[in-house]
Amino acid sequence: MPVIEVDSLHYTYPNGVEALRGVSLSIERGEFVAIMGENGAGKTTLIKHFNGLLRPTKGCVRVDGVDTREASVAELSKKVGLVFQNPDSQLFSETVEEEIAFALRNFGFSEEVVEKRVRWALSLLGLEQYRTTSPFLLSGGERKRLALASVLAWDPDVVVLDEPTIGQDYGQKEKLMQFITQLNTQGKTVVVVTHDVEFVADCNPRVVLMAAGKIVADGHAREVLTNPQLLDEASLLSPQVAKVLHHLSDLGAPSSVIDLYEARDVLLRLLRRRGV
């Protein structure tokens, strides 16, 4: 049974804006999915249905077989942890450790378990030295890590990250990619909302492409991100690697390569063929 099922989902905001128009999507347990599209495509509106922050105007969403209209946000959040694009939207405690402990206590964990999981989360995200620091004295990147730590602490089955690469330099993106891959390898279902095609190209997940409140493509990253028509519909650019290899197609370069490591191997083979 899929961990998340979206069936003919429509959502209209109170101001009359129709953000989702008949979205159907199935995410299996243990999958790594990137939901992509330009601003206003409906990406964030969609994921807010995964833990009940929004309820369908029409259609339905099921998490582990439970209709989200029949469960509370607290119940759904135990299974689906959502890390917002702006960490300040979910940080409010006086110290870093209190921030991480808040949801654990809310969910009824014993103080012994709370302390153990706080220590684990601080270590995992490299925040031990900030344990008694106010979250609002941290840098933007550190606040993002704290928001992620506060979600991972209660060990949800599904981790959803909304635009995690915004404001991150290349090194931080590389660490984030490794961290997400590790989570997924450990069995977590990971959903990343982003318009960062270079990041997705390096991660190589399943890609769900959205435009104007609908899903316009759903497939492997190398299939979606090398299709100019689909990218144009979603107002996204091709990954740089794909653009370079496209210009080398006359020399036998494949058109379906999107990550740097495979591109390196392709270029080395081309050079060897030419006796370089």
Task: Map residue 237 onto helix, strand or coil.
Answer: coil
pLDDT of residue 162: 94
In this prediction, residue 240 has a pLDDT band, given cuts at 50, 70 and 90, of low
pLDDT of 13 reads: 97
Residue-wise pLDDT tens digits, 68-82: 999 999 899 999 999
CATH class of 4-238: alpha beta
At a CB cut-off of 8 Å and minimum separation 6, what does 262 contact?
A: none
Least confident of 47-56, 177-186, 210-219, 235-244: 235-244
* pLDDT for residue 112 is more than 80: yes
Residue 264 above 70 pLDDT?
A: no
CA distances 30 to 181, 219, 220, 247, Å, are 11, 16, 15, 36
pLDDT tens readout for residues 19-55: 999 999 999 999 999 999 988 999 999 999 999 999 9
Is 189 in contact with 29 (CB distance < 8 Å)?
yes
3-state secondary structure of 67: strand
Q: Report the mean per-residue pLDDT for the chain.
A: 87
For the chain, which residues make up each domain, given as ranges?
Answer: 4-238
Tokens of 240: 């740089």
Q: For 34-43, 241-250, 262-271, which range has the lowest pLDDT when averaged over its residues? A: 241-250
Greater confidence, 267 or 218?
218
Q: What is the pLDDT of residues 148-185, one digit of tens each?
A: 999 999 989 999 999 988 877 888 788 888 888 988 99
Instruction: Give the angle 213-218-222 at the CA atoms, nearest 5°.
Output: 130
pLDDT above 90: percentage of residues in the chain? 57
Per-residue pLDDT at 260:
63
**Model confidence at 244: pLDDT above 80:** no
pLDDT of residue 16 exceeding 80, the answer is yes
pLDDT band at residue 261, thresholds of 50, 70 and 90? low
pLDDT value for 265: 62
